[in-house]
């Protein structure tokens, strides 16, 4: 397996282009299953998860091709010949479950393996199942697969999510576009990726109102057409690279960044003594004066502080002045990066869903191991502030969510190198 070697102590200066959102693209791609006409996505990220979703759609009979060095994805589902999402593909990525709603809506049948992905705690499918059942689906779990049917077609109604799950909202939203009558999604997720999906579906002819709020209303239509849609900026990649100059020192402009995508995160940076300036091209980030200050962080559904930036924020707080408390409210087992940061000299005490971080003046390079996607990049960020060399192993997680990280950080002065595994 490949490793990433980081040599700390380099201040950063320059520009980092931010890619299209992984989590948005992984929801937009299954939308092609709703129509016989082509769906084209621009500003697509070039990631292993995108390749996995491509394989899944192709296994169902969809045509998927990439253009413009992978930044444009052209899809057509006019010749679908399957409704089964096999374990061998689905186990690699949790977002594979997003084919369930579209397949049910268009074909009335789907067989989908229970999904895989990062080991950051249980992320059950019950919210998806309950919501689709409320729309008339009959779903049974057999041999690790969800067997779903809607013999009379999906029907509109009020679907109340017990938690504002992004994935469940996306699955129901896509299913509702072709369901009979009106579907109202209560306690819907409000993330920018939901708004991006709804915008794309409207371009395909769907009738959707209320996306970006906790109540979404969808009037079902008989058919959807094709569309061309640009993928929204990746707010998690944006937040990750915003932290790089905070940890290493210097100043970086994140091209394509938008304040509305990271408002809660930017508020915490401001409280920590970090300057975040909107420019005509993105967001420019730099320390105001010396080391950042400690801040407390609680992860919450959007528009709160994102769980996908918790690990990176912890890496920054390891060298902040004072004591910070991070509370993880979205996923259990999402402090697995803490023991690796401790190997680098961090002072962290984890008790259940709380982590207390006492800032130290400097971290020290060490061999560490990535446990999930966001943990892997948090260790690389920590390496930017560490004395000597940090070797991050098991970085196959990293390639699921960050395209060309070594080149992007290297372009602003970081010493980051990928070493091929034996």
Output b/e per residue, 329-354; b: 16+ Cβ within 10 A.
Answer: ebbeebbbbbebbbbbbbebebeebe
Provide the annotated binding site for UDP-N-acetyl-alpha-D-glucosamine: 94, 308, 330
Distance CA 236, CA 89 (A): 25
Locate 357 and state its tokens. 């971080």
In this prediction, residue 122 carries a pLDDT of 45
Distance CA 368, CA 56 (A): 32
Token pair 């029907």 in the structure block, residue: 155
| Cα torsion 341, 343, 347, 352: sign | positive
Identify the CATH homologous superfamily for domain 3-19+233-419. Answer: Enolpyruvate transferase domain (3.65.10.10)
Cβ atoms < 10 Å from Cβ of 101: 34
Assess whether the previous peptide bond of 303 is cis (omega < 30° from 0).
Answer: yes
Domain span(s) for CATH 3.65.10.10 in the chain = 3-19+233-419, 22-230
In this prediction, residue 234 carries a pLDDT of 97
Provide the annotated binding site for phosphoenolpyruvate: 22-23
Give average pLDDT by consecutive 10-residue segment, the chain, 422 residues: 94 98 97 98 95 95 95 95 86 86 95 64 74 95 91 94 95 98 98 98 98 98 98 98 98 98 98 97 95 97 96 98 96 88 98 96 96 92 97 90 95 96 67
DSSP-derived secondary structure letter, 281: S
Nearest to 287 by CA among 244, 318, 255, 236: 244
Distance CA 365, CA 369 (A): 13
Provide the annotated binding site: 22-23, 94, 308, 330
Task: Return the CATH number of the domain spanning residue range 22-230.
Answer: 3.65.10.10
DSSP notation for 384-420: HTEESEEEEE-GGGGGGT-SSHHHHHHTTT-EEEEE-
In this prediction, residue 124 carries a pLDDT of 64
Beta pairing class for 12-17 and 250-255: parallel
In this prediction, residue 95 carries a pLDDT of 80
- Residue 101's contacts (CB-CB under 8 Å, 6 or more residues apart) are 30, 128, 132, 170, 171, 172, 173, 174, 175
Partners of residue 170 on adjacent β-strands: none
User: Which residues are part of the catalytic machinery?
Assistant: 118
């Amino acid at each position: 397996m490949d490793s990433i070697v980081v040599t700390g102590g380099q201040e950063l200066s320059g520009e980092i282009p931010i890619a299209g959102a992984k989590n948005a693209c992984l929801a937009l791609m299954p939308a092609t299953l709703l129509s016989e006409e082509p769906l084209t996505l621009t500003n697509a990220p070039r990631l292993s998860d995108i390749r996995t979703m491509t394989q899944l759609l192709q296994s169902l009979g969809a045509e998927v091709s990439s253009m413009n060095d992978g930044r444009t994805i052209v899809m057509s589902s006019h010749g679908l010949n399957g409704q089964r999402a096999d374990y061998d593909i689905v186990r690699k990525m949790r977002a594979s479950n997003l084919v369930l709603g579209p397949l049910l809506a268009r074909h009335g049948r789907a067989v989908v393996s229970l999904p895989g992905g990062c080991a950051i705690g249980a992320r059950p499918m019950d919210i998806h199942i309950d919501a689709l059942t409320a729309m008339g689906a009959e779903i049974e779990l057999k041999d690790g697969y969800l067997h779903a049917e809607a013999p009379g077609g999906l029907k509109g109604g009020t679907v109340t999510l017990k938690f504002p799950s992004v994935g469940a909202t996306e699955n129901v939203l896509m299913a509702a576009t072709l369901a009979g009558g009106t579907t109202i999604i209560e306690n819907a997720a409000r993330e920018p990726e939901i708004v991006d999906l709804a915008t794309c579906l409207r371009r395909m002819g769907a009738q959707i109102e209320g996306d970006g709020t906790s109540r979404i209303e969808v009037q079902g239509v008989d058919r959807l057409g094709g569309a061309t849609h640009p993928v929204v900026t990746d707010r998690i990649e944006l937040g990750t690279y915003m932290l790089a100059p905070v940890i290493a020192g210097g100043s970086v402009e994140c091209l394509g960044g938008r304040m509305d995508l990271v408002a809660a995160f930017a508020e915490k940076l401001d409280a920590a003594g970090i300057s975040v300036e909107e420019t005509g091209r993105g967001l420019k980030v730099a320390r105001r004066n010396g080391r950042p200050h400690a801040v407390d962080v609680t992860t919450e559904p959007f528009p709160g502080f994102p769980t996908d930036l918790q690990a990176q924020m912890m890496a920054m707080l390891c060298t902040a002045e004072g004591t910070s408390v991070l509370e993880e409210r979205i996923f259990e087992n999402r402090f697995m990066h803490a023991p690796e940061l401790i190997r680098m000299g961090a002072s962290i005490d984890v008790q259940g869903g709380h982590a207390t971080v006492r800032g130290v003046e400097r971290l020290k390079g060490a061999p560490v191991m990535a446990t999930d996607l966001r943990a892997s990049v948090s260790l690389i960020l920590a390496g930017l502030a560490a004395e000597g060399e940090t070797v991050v192993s098991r970085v196959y997680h990293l390639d699921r969510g960050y395209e060309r990280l070594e080149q992007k950080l290297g372009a602003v002065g970081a010493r980051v190198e990928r070493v091929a595994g034996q």
